[in-house]
């Protein structure tokens, strides 16, 4: 058997999907295409490991080239042996002395590491014939921690603490497995893309309610603040009081703008305000969070690694943690950040560069094993026809994925 689970070769693929007019648009990204830098790990068996990193097209080829470079380092390794100590492997790739200069731990090189890492987890689950969520929830605390790199977190999360955290949560695991029957709730992120007209926003909001979603998101951050407020009020009027509304500014505001606009938007009681300003500006978020209390800030879509997440959590300004396993260094660093977030009691509500394909597995793990509360998982429908096993939403809930692996493969 084991000969079939050796990584015999690797390759990258540059996959790009143009979007329909207006879809995916926000205050910063006016005409996006969705692109994936795909890592493929070959075996002698019939299946391969597939990993994804997400980009908006330009430069996707650069990520692919770094994938080629990194994936070579794990060729010849047996997947179960590799994953038994994956934290060390990941560390050596992340700390490559020369590549490191191009980060460290951010940008093109870190996106490539995400794709390679995600391919390893996909292959690992496939080698055991189980969906990723099942693989992950059946691991021991020690096996989980062995897949992580906890360096630069020594002030907050030692290996021993991390193991103890998971073991402490084990008492509630069986009860939390109920989520496998009910399905994890989703929220509709496609109600109010930036370029959509009022009619389209209203129709989308109604359609989202009909589909069972109890939360939806609207893009804000236009130059005309009145337009933002108008759109928010339009949706609130359309869906009523019982639906959660989230507002996403996509880094469009300066701190003074954010303070002044959010002080108005907070009257509409959004569940969160997302990416108000530059993602590197920890102190601006810290100040803004104080100003708009009790409204929460959500961020993480553009935070590159566990060190930055640690700072955001330590500072207390992160209300919702939107880590994306296709932005940070893959599933491994996603789990590390989820552990940190659990310690600080901040919910993880991932940004889904993967359209939820991989994250539907990860939120189940976060809830069942780490004891994270159930919130809801972003749902972006635009590429559902492209995946081999697209996410399935019924009554606003993600249905349990059952095929082996991480659901990352595209149709041929």
Q: Which residues bind its own copies (CB under 8 A)?
A: 28-33, 55-59, 62-63, 65-66, 69, 95-111, 151-152, 154-155, 251, 254-257, 277-284, 287, 302, 304-305, 307-308, 310-311, 314-315
With CA atoms as reference, report the closest residue to 216 among 251, 192, 252, 200.
Answer: 192
Nearest Cα to Cα of residue 225 among 267, 261, 271, 272: 261
CA atoms within 13 A on the CB side of 37: 30
Catalytic residue among 219, 285, 310, 379: 219
Q: How far apart are CA 330 and CA 116, in angstroms?
A: 8
- d(CA 123, CA 121) in angstroms, rounded, equals 5
**Closer to its own copies at the Cβ: 318 or 364?**
318
- Residue 389 CB, nearest approach to its own copies (Å): 26
Considering beta carbons, is residue 67 or 363 the nearer one to its own copies? 67
Calpha distance 89→76 (Å, rounded): 13
Q: Which of 351, 361, 367, 372 is catalytic?
A: 351
Q: Least separation, in Å, of the C-beta of 381 and its own copies?
A: 20
Q: Which two tokens stand for residue 380?
A: 């972006």
Cβ at position 275, least distance to its own copies in Å? 11
Q: Are the C-beta atoms of residues 311 and 285 closer than 8 Å to each other?
A: no
Q: Between 100 and 237, name the residue whose CB sits nearer to its own copies.
A: 100
Q: Please, what is the minimum distance in Å from the beta carbon of residue 151 to its own copies?
A: 7
Beta-bridged to residue 217, according to DSSP, are: 246
CB distance 323 to 330 below 8 Å:
no
Tell me whether residue 62 or residue 234 sits nearer to its own copies (CB atom): 62
Of residues 182 and 315, the one with the C-beta less far from its own copies: 315
Shortest spacing between CB 286 and its own copies, in angstroms: 9
Q: Is 106 a catalytic residue?
A: no
- How far apart (Å, rounded) are the C-alpha atoms in residues 303 and 203? 33
What is the pairing mode between strands 377-379 and 272-274? unpaired
Q: Residue 276 in contact with residue 262, Cβ under 8 Å?
A: yes
Helix axes 198-210, 225-239, angle to 10 degrees: 30
Q: How far is the CB of 78 from its own copies (least distance, A)?
A: 27
Cβ within 8 Å of residue 275, ≥6 positions away: 248, 249, 250, 251, 298, 299, 301, 302
Asked if omega into 195 is within 30° of 0 (cis), the reply is no
Tell me how far, at minimum, the Cβ of 71 lies from its own copies, in Å: 15
Q: What is the rounded CA–CA span in Å between residue 381 and residue 412?
A: 19
Whether 44 is catalytic is: no
| Residue number with CB closer to its own copies (109 or 273) | 109
Q: Which helix (H) or strand (E) holds 195?
A: none
Q: Which is nearer to its own copies, 58 or 399 (CB)?
A: 58
How many whole angstroms separate alpha carbon 272 and alpha carbon 262? 11
Q: Which residues of 254-265 are buried (b: 16+ CB within 10 A; e: fewer)?
A: ebeebbebbeeb
- Residues classed as catalytic: 219, 351
């Amino acid at each position: 058997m084991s000969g079939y689970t050796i990584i015999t070769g690797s390759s990258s693929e540059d996959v790009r999907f143009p979007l329909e007019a207006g879809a995916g648009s926000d205050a910063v990204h006016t005409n996006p295409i969705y692109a994936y830098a795909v890592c493929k790990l070959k075996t002698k068996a019939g299946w391969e490991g597939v990993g994804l990193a997400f980009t908006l097209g330009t430069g996707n080829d650069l990520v692919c080239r770094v994938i080629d470079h990194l994936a070579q380092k794990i060729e010849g390794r047996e997947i179960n042996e590799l994953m038994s100590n994956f934290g060390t492997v990941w560390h050596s790739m992340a700390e490559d002395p020369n590549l490191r200069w191009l980060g460290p731990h951010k940008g093109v090189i870190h996106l490539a590491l995400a794709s390679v890492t995600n391919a390893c987890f996909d292959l690992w689950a496939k080698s055991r014939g189980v969906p990723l969520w099942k693989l992950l929830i059946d691991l021991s605390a020690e096996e989980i921690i062995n897949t992580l790199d906890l360096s630069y977190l020594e002030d907050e999360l030692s290996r021993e603490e991390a193991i103890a955290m998971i073991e402490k949560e084990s008492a509630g695991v069986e009860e939390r497995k109920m989520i496998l029957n009910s399905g994890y709730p989703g929220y509709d992120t496609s109600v109010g893309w930036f370029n959509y007209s009022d009619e389209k926003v209203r129709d989308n909001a109604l359609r989202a309610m009909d589909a069972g979603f109890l939360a939806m998101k609207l893009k804000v951050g236009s130059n005309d603040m009145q337009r933002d407020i108008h759109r928010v009020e339009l949706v609130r009027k359309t869906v009523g009081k019982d639906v959660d509304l989230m507002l996403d500014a996509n880094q469009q505001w300066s701190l003074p703008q954010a303070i002044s606009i959010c002080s108005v938007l907070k009257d509409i009681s959004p569940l969160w305000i997302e990416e108000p300003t530059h993602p590197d500006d920890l102190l601006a978020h810290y100040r803004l969070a104080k100003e708009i209390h009790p409204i929460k800030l959500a961020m993480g879509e553009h935070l590159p690694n566990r060190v930055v997440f640690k700072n955001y959590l330590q500072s207390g300004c992160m209300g919702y943690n939107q880590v994306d396993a296709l932005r940070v260094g893959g599933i491994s660093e996603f789990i590390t950040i989820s552990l940190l977030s659990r310690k600080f009691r901040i919910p993880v509500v991932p940004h889904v560069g993967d359209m939820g394909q991989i994250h539907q597995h990860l939120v189940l793990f976060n809830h069942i094993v780490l004891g994270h509360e159930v919130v809801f998982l972003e749902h972006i429908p635009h590429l559902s026809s492209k995946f081999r096993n697209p996410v399935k939403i019924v009554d606003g809930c993600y249905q349990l994925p059952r095929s082996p692996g991480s659901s990352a493969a595209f149709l041929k």
